[in-house]
Amino acid sequence: MLAMNYRGPHRVRADYDMPYPEILHPQDAIVKVLRSCICGSDLHLYHGLVPDTRVGSTFGHEFIGEIVDVGSAIQNLKTGDRVMVPFNIACGKCAFCRQELYGNCHESNPGATAVGGIFGYSHTAGGYNGGQAEYVRVPYADVGPVVIPEWMHADDAVLLTDVVPTGYQAAEMGGIQPGDTVVVFGAGPIGIMAAKCSWLFGAGRVIIIDHIDYRLEFAEKYAQCEAFNFNSIGDPVVFLKTITDSLGADVCIDAVGCEAAGNAVNTLTGRRMLLQGGSTTALHWAINGVKKGGIVSIVGVYGPIDSLIPIGNVVNKGITIRANQASVKRLLPRLIEHVESGVLDPKGLITHKVPLEEVSDAYHIFSSKLDNCIKAVLIPPSANQ
């Protein structure tokens, strides 16, 4: 079958000789992929920043598709069902799943305890092939996947598998109170969605910071927020204090993660030499830019190696840090309501629809911020049959 094939940093190809997935467990299903996105966090894999990313793997943790085969223990799904598949692989039985921490399942990733299983996200996250393919194996198919409502557009559905829940949970973890000032670092799809969702929690002011002008312009319109380029505001922390009565924001959201720009030392040690779990520049600014007693919410992805952050300031300012992978299954019922009512318009983020055969160019366009790309969706040829 056709699937994306990782060959090394900055090298991926569309490979027609990848093996078809098989049912390996009674709770598996095989899904024929209809849409699959490239996520900003896929770029961390693409850039070679995530340890144990093995050559020959297929990425892709944001996808929807049609059930074409089910294991013997599957009761809630049948062939022909069109489903959105949360990016976290969750058993639904372990203590963490029962606490609705579906992103922290303890029965889906043998290689690490710190992270649950994630589709197409290296052997550090379980060694599963992902959805940037014609077909994909979906474990615990009775637990995570949700049947796509008849009224829902496929482009909305695919963004409900990660982007929308992660952006929403970023705002939720901010503990936003009515009138709060929220600063979001990163104007990628997750940051834009976090800014948009901050309003749903009653924010009084939402500010987004990035260094890519076209993304800031997009965010300003899509999320109705203030947008600033950190290259033109001097020291971002001083700037934030200046526009927030010198005290800082109530809530800061790190929606950038390990590939943050803006600090040469962090870029060198975190992104080039891999001596940190990534560049922590955005997190620095979040910690230093939030008010005393404020909240920093982290959804940006960092590697497992130690990272340098100003922990002394966290203590002295009394900051609460909240972070997690989004618990997609927990959030989906509410988010489906928001899409149905028109409060959220996920598909409005999509700027590029690319045939899966052109996956190399899609990755490069997204990675290099070419052609004003915000969100790229891959469409397998079999999706049109």
CB of 93 to other proteins, least distance (A): 5
Q: Please give the structure tokens belonging to residue 203.
A: 């924010």
Report strand pairing: 249-254 vs 290-298: parallel
**Is the Cβ of residue 27 or residue 288 nearer to other proteins in the bound state?**
27
Q: How far apart are CA 243 and CA 37, in angstroms?
A: 36
**Is the Cβ of residue 15 or residue 226 nearer to other proteins in the bound state?**
15
Q: How far apart are CA 166 and CA 324, in angstroms?
A: 9
Helix axes 163-173 and 189-200, enclosed angle (nearest 10): 50
Q: How far apart are CA 92 and CA 329, in angstroms?
A: 10
Q: Please give the structure tokens belonging to residue 334.
A: 């509410």
CB of 369 to other proteins, least distance (A): 10
Give me the residues that bind other proteins (CB under 8 A), please: 7-13, 24-28, 48, 51-58, 73, 89, 91, 93-95, 98-101, 106-114, 117, 123-124, 126-129, 139-140, 169, 172-173, 274, 303-305, 320, 322, 324, 327, 330, 360-361, 363-365, 367-368, 370-371
CB of 25 to other proteins, least distance (A): 4
Q: What is residue 353's DSSP assignment?
A: E
Q: Please give the structure tokens belonging to residue 214.
A: 């076209």
Q: How far apart are CA 77 and CA 82, in angstroms?
A: 9
Q: Please give the structure tokens belonging to residue 192.
A: 């834009």
CB of 58 to other proteins, least distance (A): 7
Q: What are phi and psi of 182, to 5 degrees?
A: -115, 130
CB of 314 to other proteins, least distance (A): 14
CB of 130 to other proteins, least distance (A): 9
Helix axes 163-173 and 328-340, enclosed angle (nearest 10): 100
Helix spans in 56-146 (H): 95-98
**Is the Cβ of residue 122 or residue 244 nearer to other proteins in the bound state?**
122
**Is the Cβ of residue 19 or residue 342 nearer to other proteins in the bound state?**
19
Signed CA dihedral, 136, 138, 144, 149: sign only? positive
CB of 246 to other proteins, least distance (A): 27
**Is the Cβ of residue 55 or residue 384 nearer to other proteins in the bound state?**
55
**Is the Cβ of residue 72 or residue 385 nearer to other proteins in the bound state?**
72
**Is the Cβ of residue 31 or residue 148 nearer to other proteins in the bound state?**
31
Detail the DSSP E strand segments found in 139-287. 146-147, 181-185, 205-210, 226-229, 249-254
* The amino acid at 200: L
CB of 43 to other proteins, least distance (A): 12
Is 26 within 8 Å of 91 (Cβ atoms)?
A: no
**Is the Cβ of residue 157 or residue 212 nearer to other proteins in the bound state?**
212
Is 137 within 8 Å of 28 (Cβ atoms)?
A: yes
**Is the Cβ of residue 12 or residue 377 nearer to other proteins in the bound state?**
12
Is 270 within 8 Å of 315 (Cβ atoms)?
A: no
